[in-house]
Amino acid sequence: MEESGSRELYGRALSVLPGGVNSAVRAIRPYPAFIGRGDGGHVIDVDGNRYIDFVMGYGPLLLGHSPPEPVRAAVQSVASEGPMYGAPTEIEVELAEFVTRHVPSVQMLRFVNSGTEATVSAVRLARGYTGRDKIVTIQGGYHGANDSTLVEGEPGAAVPSTKGVPEAVADHTLPVPFNDEQAIDHVFEEFGTEIAAILVEPILGNTGIVEPAAGYLETLRSYCDETGALLVFDEVITGFRVGGLGCAQGKFGIEPDVTTFGKVIGGGYPVGAIGGPAEIIESFAPVGDVFQAGTFSGHPVTMAAGLETLRYAAEHDVYSTMNDLGETLRDGLRDLAEDRAPEYTVVGTDSLFKVIFTRRGRDVTNGADVNSAQTERWERLFRPAMKEAGVLLPANQLESQFICAQHTSEDIEETLEAYKAAL
């Protein structure tokens, strides 16, 4: 496989970008493939190597790399009228109306520019609305580069997980294991009147793909109802991908107080959003006293891409197509794992999938189970073998893998053959 172009670009990048990348997760050893262009469910790197792409921009590309004509036309039309205005536009109202029609828990939205910005704003909103400071988070959950959630440890003894976050910030964060109702009992017993919110991904999406145990999300909902804390669902990954237009909260039948969105609702352009009942969302300025603002929020090109992506998904039944491919792929992977690596665990739902290199006898019920898996084997041996076979996977074992509407049955068959050789 020719890689001289990527190698040369990485050498140049190391001189001008820290680690040669603009996001730490892209720092693949010995160097990443630099992508030249996308084509449907595939990408082609600068050396001309073609890959079946299951990174999909880490989730935003529901429709793949070649947007259908209505999406492409809308983006081009809006972009041709001017880059941005620093003023409201009709298209942001239309996208907000679409989301509120399809997600029952959402009456109002505030658009921002990334999933990180959405979760930062949601935490501030919860604290401002409740008048409390503490946030319950999930060990192994990920909410972007958010100081309040870049924290590890136990409730009452949490510490920053990165330099640059003050210990005083970590003091207000209460990390608990996913799917552990006893831990929720304990944290609310000790800190209940101080808790502003539980911030949780309904499915852990950046530490493997871990689904909630039966009754777990209902338990979180009941504790918030009893204490006045807000239940905040981080649906940056799952929103408009898992559960279709109703999102993961619709799939599980749980209505949060606040939802953070990103990725799919921007159609591949930078986006984030915070949604919920009007009573809560109107705590944001200028109506309420919780400050939030952004120069590029509601960017017209992003709004057009997001709206037309969601309209296309609604009108062309893309979810059933993707989910069927996902089930076929997961079934095939389970058969392969049973035959070649019975200790490994196939996870996923809808258009998400992953093989976790778990050790024998270890189930996947929380982030610790994924973190104890054979990460080095996955990264150093398995992923490079898949890349050599023409299948591009995320940088590490922790990230979700995504199917898009432009993947085909042939892509699935080729992928299974690659897994068969690499496992």
Judge contact between 24 and 34, C-beta under 8 A. Answer: no
Per-position DSSP letters for 83-132, written without gaps between them = S--SS--HHHHHHHHHHHHH-TT-SEEEEESSHHHHHHHHHHHHHHHHS-
Which among 383, 312, 319, 308 has a CA at the least distance from the CA of 351?
A: 319
**380 φ/ψ sector (left φ>0, alpha ψ -120 to 50, else beta):** alpha
Helix (H), strand (E), coil (C) string for 233-259: EECCCCCCCCCHHHHHHHHHCCCCCEE
CA–CA separation, 63 and 129 (whole Å): 37
Angle at 70 between CA 65 and CA 74, to 5 degrees: 95
Catalytic (active-site) positions: 142, 234, 263
Which among 273, 315, 298, 261 has a CA at the least distance from the CA of 91?
A: 298
Which among 335, 336, 357, 361 has a CA at the least distance from the CA of 345?
A: 357
